[in-house]
Structures are given as C-alpha cells and as structure tokens.
Amino acid sequence: MSCLRRVLPSGIGDPLGDGAAPLASRRPEVPWLEPIPDAAFAPDPADVLTSRETTRLAFVAALPNLPARQRAALLLRDAVGLSAGEAAALLDQSATAVHSALRRARARLKDQPLSEEAVVNETDETLLERYISAYENADLPALAALLRHDVELEMPPIPTWFAGRGAVLEFFAARPLRSPGRRAIPTRANGCPAVASYALELDGTYAAHSIQVLDIAEGEITHIYSFLDVTLFPVFGLPLSLAIVPTSQPDSHRPG
C-alpha cells in the first residue's frame, strides 16, 4: 500500500510577490492537504475533563474575591448541595438572606474576567465577522486592516501562492474582489475559523466557490488557505448554491 504525503502549494514552490500575476494551472493529481470540518471530530474525553477541571479551578480562584457571607452561601448551596433551609440553619441566617447572598455571589462570578482561551476564541470570531463583511462588500481597506504584514495565501489545487500583505491584497483586488458579488457563510475547519465562499452567477444565484480557512495570531490573519474544491461543501453540510438575496433582506442567504 502506498502512502502519499499531502502537501500545500508552499511545500512545492516559492511564493509570488505580484498579486496580479497569472495563476498556474490546477494540478488535481497532487495529493493536496484538505480541510476537515470541526464538527467531524467527537469531543476528546480528555479535553472534556480538562475543561471541567479548568472551570473548577476558575471557580475556586474566584472565591477569595467574594465577601464572606456570599462565599459561604455559594459553597453550601452550589458546591455542597444543601437546600436554602439547611444552609440558613448552618449560617444562622434566614433562607431569604441566604438566597440573596447566593444571587449576589453568582452575579459577581459572572463578572469575573474570561479565561485566556475564551478571550482568544471571542477575538477570532469577531475577526471572522469582520473578514466576512470585508469580503462580501469588496472592501479592500477593511481587509487590509485584518492582515498581518507577512500574511500568506494558498489556493490548492492551484500551485501558485502569494506572500506579503501587498501581494495578497493585490490578488484580491485583481480577482475575487474586483466588485461586490460574493457571499460567505461562517464555519470552522482544522480547529480554525473558516468561511464558505459563494460567487455570483449570471442567473442571479450564488455558486459554491471555496472553503477558506484562516490562521489567526494576536488579532491578525496570518494565513489564508483557500481550498478551491466545491465537493468539500457537502462535507461541511453546506449547499452548493444560494438563492439571490433581495436588497431588503441582506442576511437571509445565511442558514438559520
């Protein structure tokens, strides 16, 4: 049995610095790397345990920031599992006072800063929304603001690829974003934010074009992998075409 190593364009050639340069012909015979939807992976039991442990540690770390009465009410009710009456008897308080302290403690815990991982995920999702807006509106200045100076763009099965913000922007300006006429649906692939891109056809529908996976670091896009293979759309549970959207309903093309 032969075993082929899957590759990307960056693994078989040098990048171009001219975003308007002609593209090489597609090479379907090359065993290209492909995106895998995050939904295809069942949660790893170890990850679930880690998540629960992280939550537990965050809970414990937040306790010292609570007033004594709130901390006691929270521990007896949420950690130990006592009823309001049982907690009230132990604390020599009324059940109403225990309930009030518990409510204030829970509210304060909600105000605790997000974990670093949660902040990163929220930042990535916000950046993805901005990318989709820039992409759909052919807004090159908005797109430029999202790209790191050394961003790279690869488009298997086309072996041509580009490196540097200038070259990538030039490519978008010369080809996909010459004018508005794209739609994008947010998704996830290979553990990264991604979009499914659709191009406007002559009949007014939007046809599947590419699955774009974004590498993000410190609030900037560092790599765009644009997989030009429409057979990937069913794998992601996405349609191959979208109906044209009336101007009064700009968001109705997105699945609910």
130 versus 100: the higher-pLDDT residue is: 130
CATH architecture of 117-242: Roll (3.10)
Do the domains spanning 45-110 and 117-242 agree at the CATH topology level? no
What's the whole-number average pLDDT of the chain? 81
| Average pLDDT, integer, range 10-24 | 91
Least confident of 18-22, 114-118, 196-200: 114-118
SS3 of 166-233: the string is HHHHHHHHHCCCCCCCEEEEEEEECCEEEEEEEEECCCCCEEEEEEEEEEEECCEEEEEEEECCCCHH
pLDDT digits (tens, 9 = 90+) for 93-123: 877 788 888 888 877 766 665 455 555 566 7
pLDDT above 90: residue 154: yes
What kind of fold does domain 45-110 have according to CATH? Arc Repressor Mutant, subunit A (1.10.10)
Residue-range domain boundaries for the chain: 45-110, 117-242
